């Protein structure tokens, strides 16, 4: 499952993404899990409990490797623009799994507090002009376009704030989008804006209230958000402790907030039931679009795993 956390700046996207990731990672056995930090403010590692200043490789610095690897043996020449910004789902020739050995993960993924994490890299002055921040986000989009995620496999992306997340096609790539919303007029404003835009693209949005202090906060959100409100997280001493650099086990999280994580998990796993259809579509995309697919043994194996009765259709070259 591909899962996004979006919302107004400062609403708690990174915090809730990290709690959700730690909730999944604490399971025994831990499911296949990959966290991607695509937020301009790169704080997911810290929210997971990484020590200050832990050096992490960045996806942005490995864009060429990512493009080369995903292109596989495909003889088509794709322009940089094709590969980065406008890549339609499934374009290219190689599929990746959430958790596997591949050169992209070797170069870019590191384990932070039990969670496999890759980060886009911070916004830099050099991103102004030709190489904008969105080319870094494009690395995430590329990975998601090529990712085949099975049941019980989770790729969780911390997105950039507010309407900026619409600047690339990335926002359409998720099975579930958690919109984090504080009980404030401005946060609800971002929810409405997101929903208006996302609806046209069939994006499945569930609102998670955050920093709820009392019944009035909750009533406010219920009134404004209605049935889109999936669950809510209260102001949390556990989160504040993490902010102070104390890494506590996720079991230490307040019971009410653990319930919220379970509700999120159950929504995600409910969507998982559509897995064969989603995956067949993804593999179809690749089979249709990848010129070299017919000779790509790994790809064939994957298609057969997804659906043992799968009979590949004609491969279109071009
Ligand atoms: N439930 C919570 N309880 C207490 N503090 C919280 C909670 N959720 C978030 N915070 C705090 O609010 C601040 C902003 O949270 P966070 O960085 O997760 O927001 P964000 O939406 O990812 O921000 P940005 O837009 O900058 O990426 C942080 O200091 C975080 O610790």
User: Would you say residue 92 has pLDDT above 50?
Assistant: no
The pLDDT tens digits for 250-291 are 999 999 999 999 999 999 988 755 555 555 555 555 555 443
pTM: 0.83
pLDDT value of residue 80: 40
Backbone angles phi, psi at 215, to 5 degrees: -60, -35
Task: Name residue 153's beta-bridge partners.
Answer: 32
pLDDT value of residue 169: 66
The pLDDT tens digits for 208-253 are 999 999 999 999 999 999 999 999 999 999 999 999 988 899 999 9
Better-predicted residue by pLDDT, 264 or 41: 264
Least confident of 101-115, 128-142, 180-194, 290-304: 290-304
CB-side exposure of 269: number of CA atoms within 13 Å? Answer: 9
pLDDT value of residue 91: 43
Give the Cβ contact number of residue 314 at 10 Å: 8
pLDDT value of residue 147: 80
Better-predicted residue by pLDDT, 272 or 56: 56
d(CA 209, CA 130): 37
Give the Cβ contact number of residue 150 at 10 Å: 16
Nearest to 152 by CA among 102, 228, 97, 202: 97
Position in ligand 1 atom list of the atom nearest CA 43: 17
The pLDDT tens digits for 157-214 are 999 887 666 666 678 778 899 999 999 999 999 999 988 888 777 788 999 999 999 9
The whole-number average pLDDT for the span 128-151 is 69
Token pair for 180: 């984090």
pLDDT value of residue 84: 33
pLDDT value of residue 81: 37
**Is the CB–ligand 1 distance for residue 10 below 6 Å?**
yes
Distance in Å, CA 185 to ligand 1 centroid:
17
What CA–CA distances, in Å, run from 219 to 38, 193, 209, 262?
32, 21, 11, 22
**Is the CB–ligand 1 distance for residue 182 below 6 Å?**
no
2-306 has CATH 3.40.50.300 classification = yes
pLDDT value of residue 292: 38
**Is the CB–ligand 1 distance for residue 135 below 6 Å?**
no
Do 148 and 97 contact (CB within 8 A), yes or no?
A: yes
Best-predicted range by mean pLDDT (63-67, 120-124, 146-150, 163-167): 63-67
Question: Which of 11, 12, 35 has most ligand 1 atoms within 8 Å of CB, for mutation?
Answer: 12
**Is the CB–ligand 1 distance for residue 248 below 6 Å?**
no
pLDDT value of residue 51: 86
d(CA 20, CA 29): 16
Do 162 and 113 contact (CB within 8 A), yes or no?
A: no
pLDDT value of residue 150: 72
Distance in Å, CA 187 to ligand 1 centroid:
13
Percent of the chain's residues with pLDDT above 70: 71
Q: Which residue has the tokens 């959700």?
A: 20
d(CA 118, CA 51): 16
Best-predicted range by mean pLDDT (74-88, 137-151, 174-188, 274-288): 174-188
* Three-class DSSP category at 135: helix
Better-predicted residue by pLDDT, 57 or 124: 57
Position in ligand 1 atom list of the atom nearest CA 11: 21
**Is the CB–ligand 1 distance for residue 38 below 6 Å?**
no
**Is the CB–ligand 1 distance for residue 12 below 6 Å?**
yes
What CA–CA distances, in Å, run from 29 to 9, 26, 32, 90, 318?
34, 8, 9, 30, 43
Better-predicted residue by pLDDT, 234 or 316: 234
d(CA 120, CA 83): 16
User: Would you say residue 294 has pLDDT above 60?
Assistant: no
| Mean pLDDT, the chain, integer | 79
pLDDT value of residue 293: 40
Token pair for 299: 């790809």
Find how far residue 131's CA is from the centre of its chain: 22
Position in ligand 1 atom list of the atom nearest CA 15: 18
Residue 1 pLDDT class (50, 70, 90 cuts): confident
Better-predicted residue by pLDDT, 5 or 282: 5
**Is the CB–ligand 1 distance for residue 236 below 6 Å?**
yes
Position in ligand 1 atom list of the atom nearest CA 41: 27
Ranges of each domain in the chain: 2-306
**Is the CB–ligand 1 distance for residue 11 below 6 Å?**
yes
User: Would you say residue 133 has pLDDT above 80?
Assistant: no
**Is the CB–ligand 1 distance for residue 17 below 6 Å?**
no
């Amino acid at each position: 499952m591909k899962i996004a956390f979006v919302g107004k700046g400062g609403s708690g996207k990174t915090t809730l993404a990290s709690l959700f990731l730690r909730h999944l990672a604490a399971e025994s056995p831990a499911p296949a899990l990959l966290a991607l930090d695509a937020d301009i403010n790169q704080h997911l590692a810290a929210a997971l409990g990484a020590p200050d200043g832990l050096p992490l490789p960045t996806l942005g610095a490995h864009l060429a490797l990512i493009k080369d690897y995903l292109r596989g043996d495909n003889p088509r020449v794709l322009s940089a623009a094709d590969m980065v910004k406008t890549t339609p789902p499934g374009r290219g020739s190689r599929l990746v799994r959430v958790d596997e050995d591949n050169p992209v993960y070797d170069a870019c993924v590191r384990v932070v507090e039990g969670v496999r994490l890759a980060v886009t890299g911070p916004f830099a002055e050099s991103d102004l002009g030709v190489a904008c921040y969105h080319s870094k986000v494009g690395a995430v989009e590329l990975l998601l376009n090529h990712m085949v995620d099975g049941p019980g496999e989770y790729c969780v992306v911390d997105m950039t704030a507010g309407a900026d997340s619409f600047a690339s096609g990335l926002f359409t790539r998720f099975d579930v989008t958690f919109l984090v919303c504080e009980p404030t007029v401005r946060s609800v404003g971002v929810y409405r804006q997101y929903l208006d835009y996302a609806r046209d693209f069939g994006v499945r949005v569930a609102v998670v209230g955050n920093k709820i202090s009392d019944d009035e906060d909750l009533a406010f959100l219920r009134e404004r958000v209605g049935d889109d409100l999936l669950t809510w997280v209260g102001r949390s001493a556990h989160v504040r402790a993490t902010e102070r650099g104390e890494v506590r086990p996720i079991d230490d999280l307040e019971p009410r907030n653990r319930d919220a994580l379970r509700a999120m998990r159950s929504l995600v796993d409910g969507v998982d039931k559509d897995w064969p259809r989603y995956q067949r579509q993804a593999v179809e995309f690749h089979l249709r679009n990848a010129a070299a697919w017919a000779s790509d043994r790994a790809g064939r194996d994957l298609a057969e795993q997804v659906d043992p009765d799968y009979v590949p259709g004609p491969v279109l070259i071009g």
